[in-house]
């Protein structure tokens, strides 16, 4: 994992970053009171319209149906100027009850999409259970896909764009896993000597 403060690479088991000393306890002292979230969508400073919420709920529902082992939380808040967005999202992910008590370590397949409405910056955090599958190269396009709508103040379409790209990235990872186990469509076609593709249903990423 990367330290959310200095971005140095650290083991998931370390209590504090060896490079800068950042830890959850340090974050507790900086961030103040833990906000009350209402998963899967938490609009902490009332930015989302009813239409935004409908769009976001619909997008999240589609993602859950397609990848039932992955759960996404969408949080919009206005950060104080002195709070770094990466540190805040990390603290929120670990302290605000986004994950249940049983979703620890490798069992945590949660994704947090956090938006600072004050600056239209956005960041995403993932649970340890997804880290072996999703890297920065998969997550950055998801955030970038949402930026146009965020800058326009359209939080519903921003969530749609994020989820759409996330689903594309998850599918790409899943296909890679299938290929590794010899389950990909392409390998089946090649072995069969057929030029016509046919559908092979793959197991859900997990």
Pick the CATH number of 33-184 from 3.40.50.10490, 2.40.37.10, 3.40.250.10, 3.10.310.50: 3.10.310.50
Instruction: Write the pLDDT tens digit of every residue in 91-111.
Output: 999 999 887 655 566 678 999
Give yes or no for a contact between 77 and 44, defined as CB atoms under 8 angstroms apart.
yes
Calculate the alpha carbon distances from 8 to 2, 17, 23, 115 in Å: 5, 8, 13, 23
- In the chain, which stretches have pLDDT less than 70? 100-106, 178-206
Name the CA dihedral angle for 13, 4, 35, 78, rounded to a multiple of 10 degrees.
-170
Q: Radius of gyration of the chain from Cα atoms?
A: 19
Give the pLDDT score at 14.
81
DSSP state of 23: B
Provide the pLDDT for residue 131.
87
CB atoms within 10 A of CB 10: 16
**The overall pTM is greater than 0.85:** no
Q: What is the pLDDT of residues 9-39, one digit of tens each?
A: 877 778 899 989 999 999 999 999 999 999 8
């Amino acid at each position: 994992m990367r330290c959310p403060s200095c971005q140095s690479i650290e083991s998931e088991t370390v209590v504090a970053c060896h490079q800068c000393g950042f830890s959850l306890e340090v974050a507790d002292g900086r961030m103040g009171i833990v906000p009350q979230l209402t998963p899967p969508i938490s609009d902490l400073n009332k930015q989302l319209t009813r239409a935004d919420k409908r769009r976001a709920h619909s997008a999240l529902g589609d993602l859950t149906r397609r990848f039932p082992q992955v759960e996404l939380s969408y949080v919009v808040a206005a950060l104080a100027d002195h709070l770094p967005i990466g540190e805040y999202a990390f603290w929120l992910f670990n302290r605000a009850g986004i994950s249940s008590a049983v979703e620890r370590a490798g069992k945590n397949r949660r994704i947090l999409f956090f938006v600072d409405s004050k600056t239209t910056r956005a960041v995403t955090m993932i649970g340890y259970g997804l880290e072996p599958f999703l890297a920065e190269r998969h997550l950055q396009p998801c955030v970038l896909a949402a930026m146009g709508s965020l800058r326009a103040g359209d939080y519903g379409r921003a969530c749609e764009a994020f989820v759409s790209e996330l689903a594309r990235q998850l599918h790409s990872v899943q296909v890679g896993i299938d290929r590794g186990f010899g389950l990909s469509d392409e390998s089946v076609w090649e072995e069969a000597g057929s030029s016509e593709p046919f559908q092979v249903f793959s197991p859900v990423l997990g």
